[in-house]
């Protein structure tokens, strides 16, 4: 049953992570988001897995004109957008062209449930129609609350971002 329950989330990796700004309530001990003042140069990574621990092929979203194919494992998808952020088009292309074929190839039984951030880039009519036809039940979590609601963010993405940021700051 765990093989049919999926969660996906994305994170941005800034290519020049300096001049970070933090906005938190005074006295708060946990910082969930750091905002970079130079958000022009970034790549976005989409990670998806099921409750059984199977990882679907990840996707890296880069700015139009950038080429990464040599740097990215062949099983990973590459999406492109004007600014390197996830868009409704790149997400739709991932679900229809990468994730769904992977489900078939992996012999995952349908229907499946996909928990995702309720951000506007994830929820479009074409995607909803595709998922309904293919028996993929979309469950939108409250937008921008993934840092405490979404398993992928809590268990993998947040620690990954903290570790990567610490290595960059320490020059590793």
CATH no. for residue 81? 3.30.420.10
Query: Could you tell me if residue 171 is inside a domain?
Result: no
Residue 90 lies in a domain: yes
Tell me: the pLDDT tens digits for 122-145? 789 999 999 999 999 999 887 666
**Domain annotation covers residue 157:** yes
φ, ψ dihedrals at 7, nearest 5°: -140, 140
Overall average pLDDT of the 140-160 stretch:
61
- Rounded to whole angstroms, what are the CA distances from 167 to 30, 31, 81, 163, 172? 19, 18, 28, 6, 5
98 vs 53, residue with greater confidence = 98
Structural domain span for residue 63: 2-166
Q: What is the mean pLDDT of residues 28-34?
A: 55
Q: Is the pLDDT of residue 49 over 60?
A: yes
Q: How many domains does the chain have?
A: 1
Confidence of residue 63 (pLDDT cuts 50, 70, 90): confident
91 lies in a domain?
A: yes
């Amino acid at each position: 049953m765990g093989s049919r329950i999926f969660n996906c989330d994305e994170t941005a990796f800034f290519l020049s992570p300096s001049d970070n700004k933090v906005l938190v309530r005074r006295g708060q001990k946990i910082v969930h988001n750091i905002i970079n003042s130079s958000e022009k140069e970034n790549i976005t990574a989409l990670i998806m897995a099921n409750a059984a621990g199977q990882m679907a092929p990840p996707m890296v979203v880069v700015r139009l004109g950038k080429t990464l194919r040599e740097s990215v494992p062949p099983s990973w998808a590459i999406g492109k957008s004007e600014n390197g952020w996830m868009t409704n088009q790149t997400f739709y292309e991932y679900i229809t062209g990468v994730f769904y074929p992977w489900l078939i190839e992996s012999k995952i039984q349908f229907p499946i449930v996909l928990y995702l951030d309720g951000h506007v880039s994830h929820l479009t009519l074409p995607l909803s129609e595709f998922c309904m036809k293919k028996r993929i039940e979309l469950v939108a979590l409250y937008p921008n609350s993934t840092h405490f609601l979404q398993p992928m963010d809590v268990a993998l993405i947040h620690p990954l971002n903290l570790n990567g940021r610490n290595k960059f700051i320490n020059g590793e």
